Amino acid sequence: MTPNEQVSPQDQDRRPPPEGSSGQGNNEALEAALKDAEARAADSKDMYMRALAELDNVRKRAARDVEQAHKFAVERFANDLVGVKDSLELGLSSGATLEGLKSGTEATLKLLAKAFDKAGLVEVDPQGEVFNPELHEAMVTQPSAEHVPNTVLQVVQRGYQLNGRLLRPARVIVAREP
């Protein structure tokens, strides 16, 4: 090393002791520094292992929550449908008149509509609307002079949306030019 070169404090700790000097005091300082570094490394490894374990626990808990959500997602809707089934069974077993069966069926249909509404299930009934291929399925086109071309003349089967997502398209008959 030349006299003009400067040595940083870190480099001084890494240099071997000068020849002829007693290395005993320097060795003790190095051993103490080594033990300190080993203790810090052990603490860091411990914190790392704890963080890994915590991350694994969070991952397992999230997977368990998702599994439970999938398993019981329709529980509330199923409870509403049980009431609809009970109503239908009661109507069939009562031996009621035709008028009584009709009113019971209407009441049951109201229960079902209420269950659909609570579950976010909405009917798509496009009677008289412009045909929309994203919501409707054209079964047939029919010539019509009274209706605007590409409008729904008749709904063969209503469609349904679940929370804004199409569950089943409405099946329709569409007007075309004669």
The residue behind tokens 């071997």 is 16
pLDDT: which is higher, 23 or 36:
36
pLDDT per position as a tens digit, 115-157: 888 888 899 989 989 999 999 999 999 998 899 999 999 999 9
Sequence ranges of the domains in the chain: 24-72, 120-178
pLDDT: which is higher, 70 or 47:
47
Cα angle 113, 116, 118 (rounded to 5 degrees) comes to: 110
pLDDT value of residue 51:
96
Q: What is the pTM of this model?
A: 0.56
Distance CA 15, CA 13 (A): 6
Helix (H, G, I), strand (E, B) or coil at 139: strand
Residue 1 predicted with pLDDT over 60: no
pLDDT value of residue 97:
77
Q: Does CATH place domain 120-178 in 3.30.420.140? A: no
pLDDT value of residue 164:
86
Share of the chain above pLDDT 90, in %: 47
The average confidence (pLDDT) of the chain is 84
CA atoms within 13 Å, Cβ hemisphere of 167: 14
Distance CA 135, CA 170 (A): 6
Nearby residues of 82 by Cβ (< 8 Å), 6 or more positions away = none
Residue 113 tokens, joined: 């509509």
pLDDT per position as a tens digit, 56-99: 999 999 999 998 887 777 787 888 888 888 888 877 777 667 77
